[in-house]
Each structure stands twice: as structure tokens, then as C-alpha cells.
Amino acid sequence: DVAAPGRGIKCSLCTKILQQIKATAGEDPDEAAVEAALGKACRALGKRLGRVCKRLVKKYREQISEALQNGDQPRDTCAAIGFCKA
């Protein structure tokens, strides 16, 4: 995992969270599957990461939901919302 300097932690956390959400939503999820995955994935990440996950989801719900339905890669989505350098 090659992270940009200074943005490393945020980027890898975001990517990890989105990978979890993506895995929970399954292949080609519809809106309902994405919604369910957003809640479930954060709980699956444990207490500390779960809190970060909930904040991320709350703030970027639209973008994350859209990205998952479009099949975008977690890293690209994190770059789009400013957590990773593009």
C-alpha cells in the first residue's frame, strides 16, 4: 500500500473502510444493498475504526453510495473525496 506522504493514514483508513463496505455490499449492489452495507461494514470494523467509518459514511454517504453502484475502486473513491492523493 503506497500512500502519499502526510496523507498516508487517512488514505489507508478510507481505503480499508471502503473495501469493507464494498465487500459487504457484494457485486453490483443496488441502493438498498449499499445502504445496508454502510451500516454493517462500520460495525464489522471494530470500535475505533468503526467510529471513523461512521463519520466518513455520514459525511460522504452520497459519493460512497454512487461509487459503489458504479463499481469504482475504493482508492479512487477516497481520492475523489480528498482522502488520498489522486
Q: What is the pLDDT of residue 2?
A: 45
Task: Decide if 57 contacts 42 (C-beta within 8 A).
Answer: yes
Convert the pLDDT of each residue in 17-68 to its tens digit. Answer: 999 999 999 988 888 999 899 989 999 989 988 999 999 999 999 999 999 9
pTM of the predicted structure, to 2 decimals: 0.83
Range of the domain at 15: 5-81
Can you tell me the distance from the alpha carbon of 32 to that of 10, in angstroms, rounded to the nearest whole number? 27
Residue range 66-77: mean pLDDT, rounded = 93
How many domains in the chain? Answer: 1
Q: Report the Cα 25 to chain-centroid distance in Å.
A: 11
63 within domain boundaries: yes
Core vs surface per residue 48-67: b (16+ CB within 10 A) or e:
eebebbbebbeebeeebbeb
86 within domain boundaries: no
User: Which CATH number do you get for residue 38?
Assistant: 1.10.225.10
Task: Decide if 84 contacts 7 (C-beta within 8 A).
Answer: yes
